[in-house]
A and B are shown apart, each in its own frame.
Chain A
Amino acid sequence: MAGATIGERPGTLRDALRDVRDQTAGYSGIWSWITTVDHKRIGIMYGVTAFVFFLAGGIEALVIRLQLATPNGGVVNADQFNQLFTMHGTTMIFLVVMPLSAAFFNLLVPLMIGARDVAFPRLNAFSYWVFLGAGIFMNVSFFTGGNIFQGELGAPGAGWFGYAPLTLNQFSPGHGIDYWAFGLLILGIASMASGFNFIVTIINMRAPGMTFFRMPLFIWMTLVTSFLIIFAMPIITVALFQVLADRLFGANFFNAELGGTPLLWQHMFWLFGHPEVYILILPAMGIVSEVFATFARKPLFGYPFVVFSGVAIGLMSWGVWAHHMYTTGLGSVANSAFGFTTLLIAIPTGIKIFNWIATLWGGSISLKTPLLFAVGFLAMFVIGGLTGVMHSMVPSDYQQQDTYFVVAHLHQVLLGGALFGLFSGVYYWFPKFTGRLLNEKWGQLHFWLMFIGFNVTFQPMMISGMLGMPRRISTYSEGLGWEFWNMLSTVGAFLIAVSVLVFMYNVVISLRSKERAGDDPWDGRTLEWAIPSPPPVYNFAEIPQVKELDDFWHTKYVENEQGQLVRVVAGAAEQAEEAEDDAHHDIHMPSPSYFPIIVASGFPFIAFGFMYDFALLPVGAVVMLVGLYGWALEPATE
């Protein structure tokens, strides 16, 4: 693995750094972004792309809310409505929350474990391009239904969990479901690739001295999430292949007439889907764990317990899938068993919540925007968790299943939970990667608008659900007592929309501001704050030696004679660094590569080939083969 060995012969640290700078000085312009294998750039691309999809999914949500604001709404027809909520769910889960988490993994994992990059930088770029291709591919479906200006949309319309047999040809003609299934298949490839990548990175690339129990909590949650991804994705992959085989080749997997079992789809979907729920929430839990510790200026309370409960949640997520299927007639035994396991999963979740509060307890809490979002996360997640416990009570779930109560619950967890956690992360790490703080005033406004908007949108849904409003209905008639609550939800949804506009404005003005954030604006605890903002290509001039949990914090503070923590005199640490610089230095950075995007671009060809014309299949295959051989034979550090 030769690759871009910098410097002909190993020299001093200064020589090595200069060589890297010389080599990467030319990395600018669009081409450099297309061929980049730098985890930080890939992370930024993930984040920006996911945000664009977030806007798309948000607009879909607003149209849905407009349609339901009043009884007998006439904004869209039933067909359009079905497509909107399907794409809203699919987009928000697979194209927003998962990639936003991936953005944070990319940006932070190497920095937090003291590495120069991920284990497989090109695979990392590949993940991003596959994700981007799949996201565009899926949204292209809107334009394939005929004249889009007359409202003829061609998007999938069978719900984000696409229950068979509704997804089969006779019930969903056209190509919408094909777009959905192929899109998810391709996205699965992206997720699996990044899952493998981060597991290897975390296991194999920790800085010297960083044992598993010195890893920041965010890294632990990344590890658990990645394991969930690599074990859960294959199941949905097979299920999607099956539904595609039924649709495209007349197979009978879900054909009840020949003895097929449509219920199999639900099992396979939720075998994937429940771990997926934790794939969505665990990264946010990791983020808020870091934020609470930093902003309370205290170490995370009960670190090993939070770690173990995260692992326990990951393990237990495999034993609860059928709680999405209580009403399918599983029988009393299965319902009792799954009800029981579902109740149990509240225990590790509770442990986490208690430990977070204990982290804040007795701290010196800085009420900045990142902390506000983290607290908002916690408050909303508690409601989400408790409504989850209420759902796990099988008999009462018979009433709640598939109503707006469930819609409220899942948004409590995904929006109030995951998205608030992710926004907390955005405010927290924005200065690290841009060199500029997000404006605090606008940030606070963003938080309060979003928090209030969220509660105004989703708490009323609990009530409309209990008043008997099923989810996924495109319209409803007067007199059922739902009008007021739906109107309230719609108003709240627009408040959330305004808050997102505030956020966008904040990003623009903050990026333009001349004020620099400095390397460590929040008095951080983990390694990423030890390096400049934004970090140089090679991250760490010298790979750090880690001696304890929150190592960076301990380099900044020592106990004085009274047992109080005081700051180490500034500059002392750097002087130490200067002094011992005569070791052998040789920094390897991966070279840019365009093969990942070539390989990734083969997938949509293949999907289109299956859907429209088999002649496209060899085209896609050749593109991929060329890319793969180029990739395999290209000299690079991987």
Chain B
Amino acid sequence: MAALLLLALAVLFVGCSAFGGDQNTFAPEGDVAKKQLEVFYWALWPAVVVLILVTGALLYAVIRFRRRSDDDPIPKQVHGNFRLEIAWTIAPTIVLLALAVPMIAAIIDLGGDPDADALHVNVTAQQFSWLFEYPSLTDAEGTPLRAKVDELLIPVDREIVVHLESVDVNHSFWVPKLFGKLDAIPGRTNDLKFNATSPGTFSGQCAEFCGIGHANMKFTIIALEEPEFQVWCEEQLALEPGAPVCQR
């Protein structure tokens, strides 16, 4: 039993980042996902220690104190121990408070105000696709730039602020390598910020059950180097090269 548990754990910790996969949360490519992975480890390691201690104590007790024959004497009738109770009330309290403080700091950190030069994107979820629009990147007539359905292009190393809406049911916007999820809920706008620290194509998919096409409500975020992104922006908006709209 113990071996099995430890095996499962060992596989979980050591192996995961090596498994690869486009949606592996152990291989973050953005600051938000990195922070979230860090918080995961804060909880994981104490949990592993507690698991080993508790399961170890349990197995030890069951094996060590097993009844060897029916004539074994009745054990001492211990009803409790006040000091022990206090100890194992306080010990987890300390551990949990130690977790709570950095956790709240991390929540506030991730929920902070966006950078001034952040790129804003309006994301609209619908059954079963994602629409992307850049409200600040507009052509000569003032029409904002739209990305292809299910494909968002972003510049690397620049903060992206997503304004998330849904037109029908609940959806959830999630690219595991870049950021944890945020729900798109009809009637409200949720904001999310993230960045990509290296160029590449990152796959994401809807994470809130939304109906028959839920499994196929996928999309990708393509992170381009800043100059490439600007070229793309100018092309899409049919602007002169170096147009201020697309400049950082």
Judge A-B direct contact (beta carbons within 8 Å).
Answer: yes
Interface residues of A (CB under 8 A from B): 78-79, 82, 157-159, 163, 165-166, 171-172, 256, 259-263, 296-299, 301-305, 327-329, 331-332, 335-336, 339-340, 343-344, 346-347, 350-351, 353-355, 357-358, 360-367, 375, 378-379, 382-383, 386-387, 389-390, 393-403, 451-452, 455, 459, 462-463, 466-476, 479-482, 557, 564-566
What mask results when residues 40 to 58 of chain B are scored 1 for a CB within 8 Å of chain A, else 0? 1011100100110011011
A336-B107 contact given A353-B54, A393-B40, CB 8 Å threshold:
yes
Does B21 lie within 8 Å of A351, measured CB to CB? no
A226→B42 CA distance, assembly (Å): 36
Does B78 lie within 8 Å of A476, measured CB to CB? no
Known: A336-B107, A393-B43. 13 other contacts (CB 8 A): A166-B210, A336-B104, A363-B75, A364-B67, A394-B106, A395-B36, A399-B40, A401-B180, A459-B8, A463-B16, A463-B19, A475-B216, A481-B21
Does B37 lie within 8 Å of A396, measured CB to CB? yes
Does A474 lie within 8 Å of B215, measured CB to CB? yes
- Chain A residues with CB under 8 Å of B25's CB are 399, 466-468
Q: How many A-B residue pairs have CB under 8 A?
A: 297
Does A390 lie within 8 Å of B212, measured CB to CB? no
Among B42, B77, B169, B215, contact of A475 (Cβ-Cβ < 8 Å): B215
Does A390 lie within 8 Å of B40, measured CB to CB? yes
A468-B21 contact given A165-B169, A171-B211, A302-B85, CB 8 Å threshold:
yes
A263→B166 CA distance, assembly (Å): 13
A386→B183 CA distance, assembly (Å): 25
A398→B178 CA distance, assembly (Å): 11
Among B51, B65, B111, contact of A332 (Cβ-Cβ < 8 Å): B111
A469-B23 contact given A361-B61, A383-B51, CB 8 Å threshold:
yes
Q: Which of B54, B57, B205: most chain A CB closer than 10 A?
A: B54
What mask results when residues 160 to 204 of chain B are scored 1 for a CB within 8 Å of chain A, else 0? 000000001110101010011111011110110000000000000
State how many angstroms separate the Cβ of A392 from the closest Cβ of chain B: 8
Pairs across A and B, CB under 8 Å, 24 listed: A166-B211, A256-B187, A259-B187, A296-B75, A298-B75, A302-B80, A335-B111, A346-B96, A347-B92, A354-B84, A357-B61, A361-B65, A362-B78, A365-B66, A375-B58, A389-B47, A398-B179, A399-B25, A466-B24, A466-B25, A467-B26, A470-B174, A470-B205, A470-B206
State how many angstroms separate the Cβ of B99 from the closest Cβ of chain A: 6
A481→B20 CA distance, assembly (Å): 6
Please report which residues of chain B, range 78-123, place their CB below 8 angstroms from some CB of chain A when the two chains form the complex.
78-81, 84-85, 88-89, 92-93, 96, 99-100, 103-104, 106-108, 110-111
- Chain B residues with CB under 8 Å of A401's CB are 172, 180-181, 207
| Top 10 A-B pairs, shortest CB-CB distance | A398-B180, A468-B23, A481-B21, A256-B187, A329-B190, A473-B215, A332-B111, A396-B40, A256-B186, A302-B80
- Chain B residues with CB under 8 Å of A302's CB are 79-81, 84-85
A397→B183 CA distance, assembly (Å): 13
Does B180 lie within 8 Å of A399, measured CB to CB? yes
Among A262, A327, A347, contact of B93 (Cβ-Cβ < 8 Å): A347
> Which B residue sits closest to A343, measured CB to CB?
B96
A6→B125 CA distance, assembly (Å): 70
The answer, yes or no, to whether B73 is at the interface (CB within 8 Å) is yes
- Chain A residues with CB under 8 Å of B186's CB are 165, 256, 262
A459→B211 CA distance, assembly (Å): 27
Q: Which of A344, A395, A566: most chain B CB closer than 10 A?
A: A395
The answer, yes or no, to whether B12 is at the interface (CB within 8 Å) is yes
State how many angstroms separate the Cβ of A410 from the closest Cβ of chain B: 15
Q: Which of B37, B73, B74, B191: most chain A CB closer than 10 A?
A: B74
- Chain B residues with CB under 8 Å of A355's CB are 80, 85
- Chain A residues with CB under 8 Å of B39's CB are 393, 395-396
State how many angstroms separate the Cβ of B138 from the closest Cβ of chain A: 27
The answer, yes or no, to whether B158 is at the interface (CB within 8 Å) is no
> Which A residue sits closest to B209, measured CB to CB?
A472
Q: Which of A159, A344, A382: most chain B CB closer than 10 A?
A: A382
Does A379 lie within 8 Å of B43, measured CB to CB? no
A383→B58 CA distance, assembly (Å): 13
Please report which residues of chain B, range 146-168, place their CB below 8 angstroms from some CB of chain A when the two chains form the complex.
168
A502→B89 CA distance, assembly (Å): 41
The answer, yes or no, to whether B141 is at the interface (CB within 8 Å) is no
State how many angstroms separate the Cβ of B114 from the closest Cβ of chain A: 14
A360→B42 CA distance, assembly (Å): 31
- Chain A residues with CB under 8 Å of B85's CB are 302, 305, 351, 355
- Chain A residues with CB under 8 Å of B144's CB are none
Does B100 lie within 8 Å of A382, measured CB to CB? no
- Chain A residues with CB under 8 Å of B54's CB are 353, 357, 382
Among A79, A357, A399, contact of B36 (Cβ-Cβ < 8 Å): A399
- Chain B residues with CB under 8 Å of A259's CB are 187
- Chain B residues with CB under 8 Å of A403's CB are 207
- Chain A residues with CB under 8 Å of B210's CB are 166
